Amino acid sequence: MDAIILQILNGLDKGSAYALIALGLTLIFGTLGVVNFAHGALFMIGAFCAVTLQKILSASYTVIDPSQTDFLGRPLEVSKPYLEAWLGPDLGGGIIEWSVPLAILFAIPVMLILGYVMERGLIKHFYRRPHADQILVTFGLAIVLQEVIKHFFGANPIPTPAPPAFAGSLDFGVWLGFDPNAIIYPYWRTVYFLFSLVIIGAVFSFLQFTTFGMVVRAGMADRETVGLLGINIDRRFTIMFGIAAAVAGIAGVMYTPINSPNYHMGMDFLVLSFVVVVVGGMGSLPGAVLAGFLLGIVESFASMNEVKNILPGIDQIIIYLIAIAILLTRPRGLMGRKGVMEE
């Protein structure tokens, strides 16, 4: 029993990332009808927002510290972050340690602007072109974004630790009455899961309970009619593109402590999130979220040793197998609407 709960928990953090990326992909597809192959790159850029902020915050200068000496007895040169000098070691050091959560505030405007520019500058011209062209141009854009990041940050993963307050692990089993140490789950992954729930909830309530969201939903259902009613639906869809980019971006920010970001992490996640979107149903937001968590959990079950002994290699392909099965038997996905991209 505890093993099963552990696998579910393990699946949740990856599932959260899948769900967030797939949510953005579906938002873009549902509103603009565009298949965005650059969405993984947006996730990656979000992660690098965290890296950038960490670098900016820990910008430092060297001072000679007479109290410390090296092995020859000379005073040691210590690099001291400006922040610590200005705000004192407690507050300054604290801010540096909390750079990943703080990066969310930094990433949201960056991603909103990036998404806006991307939609106005590029995607706008591809509404009337076939889906294949949209795939191709966004694939090209993904390559470009990835190479730009590689140029500025290098090819190696950059470690970005979580705040020390979340460094340890949660002994989750004790809460449920199991023995101590039966179910150990890192704090940060718990945070990531809860965070993704908050974001998903925020996106849904935004669409459900605001006038803006109502108009967007109406536009998703029937763009032409909404346009005829004198509402500038294009502008709202552009903003939705920005929001989708921001969702992918902050998903990337919060993912950095789990996996050190490198320039091709976006491509790695992209394929899987497309699979997630397809399984959930093209254009269905709840479907994308559900399928994201579901596939994350299924993947983590498939990587249990007991399963791998029966079906070797199943953990590597299970997601793709599910996607193929779904596409062949129920092309509109788990929760897709009838008639949306069924062919």
- Which spans of this chain sit near another protein (rule: CB under 8 A)? 35, 122, 125, 129-133, 135-137, 139-141, 143-144, 146-148, 150-151, 267, 271, 274-275, 278, 282, 312-313, 316-317, 320-321, 323-324, 327-328, 331, 341, 343
Residue closer to another protein, measured from CB, 181 or 316: 316
Q: What one-character-per-residue DSSP string does 114-172 give?
A: HHHHHHHHTGGGGTTS-HHHHHHHHHHHHHHHHHHHHHHH-SS----PPPGGG-SEEEH
The phi-psi region of residue 33 (left if phi > 0; otherwise alpha if psi is between -120 and 50; otherwise beta) is: left
Report how far residue 83's alpha carbon sits from residue 16's, in angstroms, rounded to the nearest whole number. Answer: 33
Q: How far is the CB of 193 from another protein (least distance, A)?
A: 26
- CB contact at 8 A, 92 and 61: no
Residue 315's contacts (CB-CB under 8 Å, 6 or more residues apart) are: 299, 302, 303, 307, 308
Looking at the Cβ atoms of 177 and 313, the one nearer to another protein is 313
What minimum distance in Å lies between the beta carbon of 143 and another protein? 3
Whose Cβ is closer to another protein: residue 76's or residue 307's? 307
What length does the chain have? Answer: 343
Q: Between 157 and 331, whose beta carbon lies closer to another protein?
A: 331
Q: Which amino acid is at 215?
A: V
Output the smallest distance, CB 40 to another protein, in A: 12
Backbone φ, ψ for residue 75 (5° rounding): -65, 145
Give which of 340, 342, 291 is closest to 31, Cα–Cα: 340
Which residue, 93 or 331, has its beta carbon nearer to another protein? 331
In whole angstroms, the minimum distance from the beta carbon of 217 to another protein comes to 23
Least distance (Å) between residue 65 CB and another protein: 36
Closest separation in Å from C-beta 315 to another protein: 8
- Which lies closer to another protein via its Cβ, residue 15 or residue 266? 266
